[in-house]
Amino acid sequence: MNKTILLEDLGRKDYKETWDYQETLFKAILDTKIKNRREDLGLETQNHFLFVEHPHVYTLGKSGDLSNLLLSEAELAAKEATFYKINRGGDITYHGPGQVVGYPILDLDNFFTDIHKYLRFLEEVIILTLADYGLETERSPGETGVWLGVGTPFARKICAMGVRASRWVTMHGFALNVNADLGYFDNIIPCGIKGKAVTTLNNELGVEHVDEDAVKAKILKHFSTLFEAEFNSKKAD
């Protein structure tokens, strides 16, 4: 089993370009697995982890409801935002500047073949990362992601998650609101969940700005521990 993960920080990159890149990496892993099965070659499959920050964009998962987008095409253009229907699970979410977005593209045969466990581990990575900042966050029953104030009138989501998996290969991932502009969430019903707010790390800490590189470092530390993995940096093209 290969537990080395190739790490790339793509900086700020268009959503569709990043999605296409994910698909390329995803397909390469699938092709290797199919070839191994057909020809019994025993070739090693790669694992990838992409950090990225997107320009303003709304994405709707395959089970999502388009009515949860509260903007017309003209209003999207006025806000310099784009919209895509995509092939992950979940409903609608927003990505934009000030978010730390992570896309693990893993062959879970290298780790464990359990999608439920995989999602819980992703949540735990974020929960442990936010604990490093003194925040007590948690899961909300039946709702993937990481929250504060679950069970109170002040429940608020700080990290959204949605993944796709085929033959135990994953793509898409999580979006942690670090310094994001929460005004953009007013244009959707986030994740299709009414009556619950969204928050950011800098708001919860009462500071103007949180160092996003420091957040990424903490995420990688907890990810490597939980997944018993090692990261190797790969320079983006």
Q: Which residues are catalytic?
A: 191
> Is position 175 annotated in a ligand binding site?
yes
> Is position 183 annotated in a ligand binding site?
no
> Is position 174 annotated in a ligand binding site?
yes
> Is position 193 annotated in a ligand binding site?
no
> Is position 90 annotated in a ligand binding site?
yes
Give the 3-state secondary structure of residue 158.
Answer: strand
> Is position 95 annotated in a ligand binding site?
yes
DSSP letter string, 91-143: SEEEE-TTEEEEEEE-BGGGT-S-HHHHHHHHHHHHHHHHHTTT---EEETTE
> Is position 11 annotated in a ligand binding site?
no
- For residues 53 and 67, give the distance between their C-alpha atoms in angstroms, rounded to a whole number: 26
Contacts of 7 (CB under 8 A, 6+ apart): 48, 49, 51, 220, 231, 232, 233, 234
Give the torsion sign (CA, 89, 2, 175, 97): negative
> Is position 65 annotated in a ligand binding site?
no
> Is position 86 annotated in a ligand binding site?
no
> Is position 45 annotated in a ligand binding site?
no
Give the 3-state secondary structure of residue 74.
Answer: helix
Task: At 92, give phi and psi (nearest 5°).
Answer: -100, 145
> Is position 18 annotated in a ligand binding site?
no
Q: How far is CA 47 from the centre of its chain?
A: 16
Q: List residues forming the annotated binding site for substrate.
A: 88-95, 160-162, 173-175
Annotated binding site: 88-95, 160-162, 173-175
